[in-house]
């Protein structure tokens, strides 16, 4: 037992390979931990072990509400036809999921028409950044989606005030309202009230879904659809992954295995997990993963600290530490299986650059060789390695990945003994900041 592969509807699914976690964790320990926690895994599989008011993401089919999907697609189509710029205002779980998918499927990689330009705002408080957002928007046809579960969060709240003023000054209040969407809790929240008073298009931030688990709701799907992504394919990927995880035996369930192995490694002192990849287009996916696991597990004085490396660039910086620094790192590689587009390396002619041994090879073999070499070197250097292999980068497989990690995080948090759905620590800086700013 060192890989888990299961063919799904499309014939291929995410695969977890953990042979390179040995000998840092043993096969017997993995079996023992699974046996010890079987009841827990079964409960999780039934959507238990958490209050129902945070498990809205668990049954993907409940997210596939046809009238809502149609409303999202219609609005997105209108924005794509008429907009030059789409400003996505949100922070944390309110923007990370959409940004992860949009960056992974960016037009320069996917061929999806590059309009409108997506600009992220409300995820920092930097003056220069906001000025640049407003400057880029001048003279352009601008649409906005402000996303907040709890509209008390300062960053999106105050940035939306600045952007709203820009929109109203540019278009007048009436037309500005037709260009603004608000995605928030539809339970009388202040964002809902503001949206109703102004006449914005309102989309639901489901009450029973927390920010970092919200990527497959209107929170993530509207911006993705504006960027031209096929959101139905994404939901289909998530639904198929849900099915796979639901029906797999514990010892063959890749999300359970991933959660078990990383928790066993944490107990042995491997307190930092690096999600490494060889595709720059996955950098923001890795940031989504960092938020999911960091905010879900880092509490009660425990948890694995999640971080990321983008290779091969980071092999020339953090690679040194990973190879020979303090031994507390575990590394999970996110690799892509699909054959890359043909890009042959030209013949040498008289280049004399020392790379003749590569002539006429496919460029893709270089990245594959870099992966093979890195996993071997890091494993030999004392780093337990896992490999999460994805058949390809597409909406469908991103849907699988989002669901896979959400489910794994649910399992992992429970193994760790923390609540993976709260984030009490985030309030500490907020309280202090509000004191400094004199909030009544």
Q: What are the catalytic residues?
A: 295, 316, 430
Per-residue burial over 330-368, b if 16 or more Cβ lie within 10 Å, else e, is bbbbbbbeeeeeeeeeeeeeeeeeeeeeeeeebeeeebe
Of residues 178-217, those binding ligand PA5 (CB under 6 A): 210-212
Smallest separation, CB 179 to ligand PA5 (Å): 21
Smallest separation, CB 94 to ligand PA5 (Å): 4
Angstrom CA distances, 124 to 100, 218, 434, stand at 17, 22, 16
Smallest separation, CB 55 to ligand PA5 (Å): 14
Question: Rule CB under 6 A: is residue 150 a binding residue for ligand PA5?
Answer: yes
Please pick, from the candidates 83, 97, 116, 156, the single residue that binds ligand PA5 as defined by CB under 6 A. 156
Please pick, from the candidates 91, 146, 181, 215, the single residue that binds ligand PA5 as defined by CB under 6 A. 91
Q: Which is nearer to ligand PA5, 211 or 391 (CB)?
A: 211
Q: Which is nearer to ligand PA5, 211 or 399 (CB)?
A: 211
> Could you tell me how far CA 190 lies from the centroid of its own chain?
27
Smallest separation, CB 122 to ligand PA5 (Å): 8
Q: Which is nearer to ligand PA5, 157 or 254 (CB)?
A: 157
Residue whose structure tokens are 């497989």:
397
Question: Rule CB under 6 A: is residue 153 a binding residue for ligand PA5?
Answer: yes
Question: Rule CB under 6 A: is residue 148 a binding residue for ligand PA5?
Answer: yes
157: closest CA among 188, 149, 79, 288? 149
**Torsion angle of the four alpha carbons 132, 288, 92, 95, in this order, in degrees rounded to the nearest 10:** 60
Smallest separation, CB 184 to ligand PA5 (Å): 8
How far, in Å, CA of 187 to CA of 205, rounded?
A: 10
Q: Which is nearer to ligand PA5, 70 or 426 (CB)?
A: 426
Question: Rule CB under 6 A: is residue 406 a binding residue for ligand PA5?
Answer: no
Quick note: the x/- pattern for ligand PA5 over 32-71, rule CB under 6 A, is ----------------------------------------
How far, in Å, CA of 435 to CA of 140, rounded?
A: 38
412 close to 266: Cβ distance less than 8 angstroms: no
Q: Which is nearer to ligand PA5, 83 or 211 (CB)?
A: 211
Question: Rule CB under 6 A: is residue 229 a binding residue for ligand PA5?
Answer: no
Instruction: Kindly state the number of chain residues that form the binding site for ligand PA5, as judged by CB under 6 A.
Output: 15
Quick note: the x/- pattern for ligand PA5 over 417-436, rule CB under 6 A, is ------x--x----------
Measured distance between the N- and C-terminal CA atoms of the chain, rounded to whole angstroms: 59
Biggest CA–CA distance in the chain, Å, is 73
**Beta-carbon neighbour count of residue 163 at 10 Å?**
25
How far, in Å, CA of 257 to CA of 242, rounded?
A: 15
Question: Which one of 91-99, 106-114, 133-141, 187-195 is the stretch in contact with ligand PA5 (CB under 6 A)?
Answer: 91-99
Smallest separation, CB 428 to ligand PA5 (Å): 13
Q: Which helix (H) or strand (E) holds 426?
A: helix 426-437
Q: Which two tokens stand for residue 276?
A: 């490494």
Smallest separation, CB 217 to ligand PA5 (Å): 12
What residues does 3 pair with on adjacent strands? 17
Q: Which is nearer to ligand PA5, 369 or 426 (CB)?
A: 426
Question: Which one of 54-62, 143-151, 274-282, 380-388 is the stretch in contact with ligand PA5 (CB under 6 A)?
Answer: 143-151
How far, in Å, CA of 59 to CA of 65, rounded?
A: 12
Please pick, from the candidates 240, 295, 297, 395, the single residue that binds ligand PA5 as defined by CB under 6 A. 295
Q: Which is nearer to ligand PA5, 201 or 253 (CB)?
A: 201
How far, in Å, CA of 100 to CA of 285, rounded?
A: 4
Question: Which one of 28-36, 101-109, 150-158, 277-285 is the stretch in contact with ligand PA5 (CB under 6 A)?
Answer: 150-158
Question: Which one of 102-110, 149-157, 254-262, 408-416 is the stretch in contact with ligand PA5 (CB under 6 A)?
Answer: 149-157
Comparing every residue's Cβ against ligand PA5, the nearest one is 211
**Beta-carbon neighbour count of residue 381 at 10 Å?**
13
Q: Secondary structure of the chain: what % helix, strand, coil (to 5)? A: 55, 15, 35
Smallest separation, CB 93 to ligand PA5 (Å): 3
Any idea what DSSP says for residue 311?
T
How far, in Å, CA of 107 to CA of 85, rounded?
A: 15
25 close to 237: Cβ distance less than 8 angstroms: no
How far, in Å, CA of 106 to CA of 121, rounded?
A: 18
Q: Which is nearer to ligand PA5, 93 or 228 (CB)?
A: 93
**Which positions lie near ligand PA5, rule CB under 6 A?**
91-94, 148-150, 153, 156, 210-212, 295, 423, 426
């Amino acid at each position: 037992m060192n890989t888990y592969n299961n063919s799904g509807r499309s014939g291929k699914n995410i695969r977890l390979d953990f042979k390179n976690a040995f000998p840092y964790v043993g096969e017997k320990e993995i079996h023992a931990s699974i046996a010890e926690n079987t009841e827990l895994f079964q409960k999780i599989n039934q959507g238990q072990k958490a209050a129902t008011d945070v498990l809205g993401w668990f049954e993907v089919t409940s997210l596939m509400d046809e009238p809502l999907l149609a409303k999202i697609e219609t609005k997105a189509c209108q924005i794509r036809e008429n907009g030059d710029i789409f400003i996505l205002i949100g922070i944390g779980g309110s923007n990370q999921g959409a940004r992860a998918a949009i960056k992974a499927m960016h037009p320069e990689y996917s061929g999806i028409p590059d309009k409108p330009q997506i600009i992220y705002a409300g995820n920092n408080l930097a003056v220069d950044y906001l000025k640049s957002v407003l400057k880029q928007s001048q003279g352009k046809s601008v649409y906005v989606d402000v996303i907040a579960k709890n509209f008390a969060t300062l960053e999106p709240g105050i940035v939306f005030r600045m952007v709203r003023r820009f929109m109203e000054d540019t278009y007048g209040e009436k037309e500005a309202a037709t260009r603004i969407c608000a995605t928030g809790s539809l339970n009388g929240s202040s964002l809902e009230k503001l949206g109703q008073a102004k006449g914005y298009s309102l989309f639901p931030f489901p009450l029973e879904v927390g920010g970092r688990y919200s990527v497959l709701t209107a929170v993530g799907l509207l911006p993705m659809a504006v960027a031209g992504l096929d959101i139905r394919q994404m939901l289909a990927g998530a639904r198929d992954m849900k099915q796979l995880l639901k029906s797999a035996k514990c010892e063959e369930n890749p999300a359970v295995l991933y959660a078990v192995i990383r928790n066993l490694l944490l107990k042995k002192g491997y307190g930092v997990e690096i999600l490494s990849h060889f595709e720059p287009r996955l950098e923001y996916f890795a940031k989504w993963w960092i938020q999911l696991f960091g905010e879900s597990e880092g509490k009660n004085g425990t948890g694995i600290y999640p971080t990321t490396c983008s290779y091969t660039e980071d092999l020339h910086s953090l690679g040194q530490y990973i190879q020979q620094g303090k031994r507390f790192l575990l590394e999970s590689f996110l690799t892509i299986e699909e054959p890359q587009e043909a890009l042959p390396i030209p013949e040498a002619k008289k280049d004399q650059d020392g790379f003749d041994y590569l002539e006429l090879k496919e460029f893709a073999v270089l990245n594959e060789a870099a992966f093979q070499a890195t996993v071997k070197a890091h494993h030999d250097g004392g780093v337990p390695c896992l490999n999460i292999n994805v058949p390809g980068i597409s909406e469908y497989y991103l849907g699988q990945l989002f669901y896979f990690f959400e489910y794994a995080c649910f399992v992992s948090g429970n193994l760790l003994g923390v609540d993976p759905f709260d984030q009490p620590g985030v309030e500490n800086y907020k309280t202090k900041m509000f004191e400094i700013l004199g909030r009544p």
